């Protein structure tokens, strides 16, 4: 693979496998991986713990001033884990309590400015794969490769259900479906950098792809971008796969 390091932006709906693809690509390319959603989840956890009123903008600004977010690599697993004020919160931020509130928190202007400023700094040296909702549109509008990942809604619900069931056997498929529907709705309809496919993003529908197949496709695009060959943009303007 080329030594010319690029920025890779992966966006898409809830639970369509963005972080799986982003981690696979980062590992293969020797790039760093940033899960921007983990940052919004950690901010949400802080807001829940401190009873922050989401309508009180002064209170929100003070709270953000007290939040320090870092990603630390777990020596045992090699995965990057979210730390909130030096506490490893990787497990807590994946719980339903946070999932139920995160899209409301992520829709707040001050929260987005806070997170996006840090994300932009992380991309200064390139050689980064970042996944989220606004990476190709707002965080890195000049990213050399933008992927808009989609998957069939029922498949997304099933995948997230199986993931959450491992730590919470009481979770129901219906609860997961409801959470993904609401988050997709809030994320696509908010005023501040809503989730949408960047005009120059390529759609990758992984409904019927294995992890290896989706990685191979994405790596071909990286090789293509790194050698500056142009890609044929996907004809569908918005991508597909949203839960209606």
Interface ranges with ligand CDP (CB under 6 A): 14-15, 19, 36-37, 40-41, 102-103, 106, 132-135, 183, 187
* CB of residue 179 to ligand CDP, shortest distance in Å: 8
Q: Least separation, in Å, of the C-beta of 87 and ligand CDP?
A: 18
CA distance 142 to 145: 9
Question: Pairing between strand 80-84 and 69-73?
Answer: antiparallel
What is the smallest separation between the CB atom of 142 and ligand CDP, expressed in angstroms? 16
**Dihedral (CA of 94, 96, 97, 100) sign:** positive
Residue, CB closest to ligand CDP: 37
Q: Which residue's CB is nearer to ligand CDP, number 39 or number 215?
A: 39
Nearer to ligand CDP, 134 or 205 (CB): 134
Closest approach of ligand CDP to the CB of residue 19, in Å: 6
105 CB-near residues (< 8 Å, 6+ apart): 40, 43, 44, 47, 54, 111
Q: Are 218 and 204 in contact (CB under 8 A)?
A: yes
Question: What 3-state DSSP class applies to 105?
Answer: helix
Nearest residue (CB) to ligand CDP, 162 versus 220: 162
Contacts of 61 (CB under 8 A, 6+ apart): 110
* CB closer to ligand CDP, 20 vs 224: 20
144 vs 179, beta carbon nearer ligand CDP: 179
Q: CA-based angle 150:112:162, to the nearest 5?
A: 40
Judged by beta carbon, residue 43 or residue 215, the one nearer ligand CDP is 43
- Characterize the bridge pairing of strands 145-150 and 7-12: parallel
CB of 41 to ligand CDP, least distance (A): 6
Rounded to a whole number of angstroms, the minimum distance from the CB of residue 101 to ligand CDP is 10
Helices (H) and strands (E) counted in the chain, each on its own, are 9, 8
């Amino acid at each position: 693979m080329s030594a010319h390091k690029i920025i890779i932006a992966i966006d898409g709906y809830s639970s369509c496998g963005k972080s799986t693809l982003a981690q696979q690509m980062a590992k293969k390319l020797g790039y760093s991986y940033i899960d921007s959603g983990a940052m919004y989840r950690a901010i949400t956890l802080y807001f829940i713990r401190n009873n922050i009123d989401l309508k009180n903008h002064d209170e929100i600004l003070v709270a953000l001033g007290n939040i320090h977010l870092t990603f630390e690599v777990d020596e045992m697993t090699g995965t990057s884990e979210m730390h909130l004020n030096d506490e490893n919160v990787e497990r807590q931020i994946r719980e339903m309590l946070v999932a139920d509130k995160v899209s409301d928190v992520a829709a707040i202007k001050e929260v987005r400015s806070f997170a996006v400023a840090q994300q932009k700094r992380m991309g200064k040296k390139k050689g980064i794969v970042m996944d989220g909702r606004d990476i190709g549109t707002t965080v890195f509008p000049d990213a050399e490769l933008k992927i808009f990942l989609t998957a069939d809604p029922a498949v997304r619900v099933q995948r997230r259900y199986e993931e959450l069931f491992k730590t919470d056997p009481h979770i129901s498929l219906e609860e997961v479906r409801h959470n993904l529907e609401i988050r997709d709705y809030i994320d696509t309809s908010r005023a501040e950098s809503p989730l949408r496919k960047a005009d120059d993003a390529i759609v990758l529908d992984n409904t019927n792809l294995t992890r290896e197949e989706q990685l191979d496709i994405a790596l071909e695009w990286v090789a293509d971008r790194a050698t500056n060959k142009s890609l044929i943009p996907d004809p569908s303007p918005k991508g597909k796969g949203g839960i209606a």
